Each structure stands twice: as structure tokens, then as C-alpha cells.
């Protein structure tokens, strides 16, 4: 067994203002993760329905199947960028 950490990784807050600031920052970060997760699940379901032919949601803006998948992958790329942005906020 390894020896436990001698010092905690995070120090306790010393003021009410610092605690409130930390709470607001954490809330914003977790809301960002929740939004990216919901959009990711929505995009996954939309892709599955598009692949099986259940829906043809991109038909008004894309005529062929290739352009419809192009729009889908563009949306996926935007989601990846949004996810990277939200996860970067947590790392800081």
C-alpha cells in the first residue's frame, strides 16, 4: 500500500467571497459539461435515425445523401470544438 497524501490537493477556502466564487465557477463548468453531453446524445440519436432512414432531417438544405452526411459531420465537428472548450474550462 502506498502512503496517503500528506497534504490535500485543494486547500480549504478562507473567505465567504472565495467560496462563492468557487461555487459559481464549478456550477458554470458542470452546466457546460451537461450541455455538451446532451447535445452529443442528441447528435448520436440523430445520426442513428439518419443512418437507418427513419428521418431525412437535412433534406431541406442538402439534396444528396453525401451532403446530408457532410452536414451531420460538420455538426459533430462543432460539438467536438464545444466539448474541448468546456473541458478546457475545467482544467483551468
- What distances in angstroms separate CA 76 from CA 6, 43, 65, 68, 88, one per listed residue? 44, 7, 16, 13, 18
Question: Model confidence at 5, in pLDDT bands (50, 70, 90)?
Answer: low
Of 75, 89, 71, 74, the C-alpha closest to 33 is: 89
The whole-angstrom separation of Cα 17 and Cα 35 is 27
**Hey, what's the cell of 34?**
451537461
Angle separating helix axes 65-91 and 16-52, nearest 10 degrees: 160
pLDDT at 18 over 70: yes
- 15 domain-assigned: no
Question: pTM of the entire structure?
Answer: 0.66
pLDDT at 23 over 60: yes
pLDDT at 41 over 80: yes
Residue 3: predicted pLDDT? 64
Q: Which domain holds residue 53?
A: 22-91
Q: Give how many domains the chain has, as a whole number.
A: 1
Residues in the chain: 92
Question: What is the average pLDDT value for the chain, to the nearest integer?
Answer: 81
Amino acid at each position: 500500500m502506498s502512503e496517503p497524501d500528506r497534504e490535500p490537493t485543494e486547500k480549504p477556502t478562507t473567505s465567504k467571497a472565495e467560496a462563492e466564487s468557487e461555487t459559481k465557477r464549478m456550477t458554470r463548468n458542470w452546466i457546460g459539461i451537461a450541455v455538451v453531453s446532451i447535445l452529443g446524445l442528441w447528435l448520436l440519436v440523430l445520426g442513428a435515425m439518419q443512418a437507418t432512414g427513419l428521418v431525412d432531417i437535412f433534406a431541406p438544405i442538402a439534396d444528396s445523401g453525401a451532403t446530408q452526411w457532410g452536414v451531420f459531420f460538420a455538426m459533430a465537428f462543432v460539438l467536438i470544438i464545444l466539448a474541448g472548450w468546456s473541458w478546457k474550462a475545467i482544467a483551468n
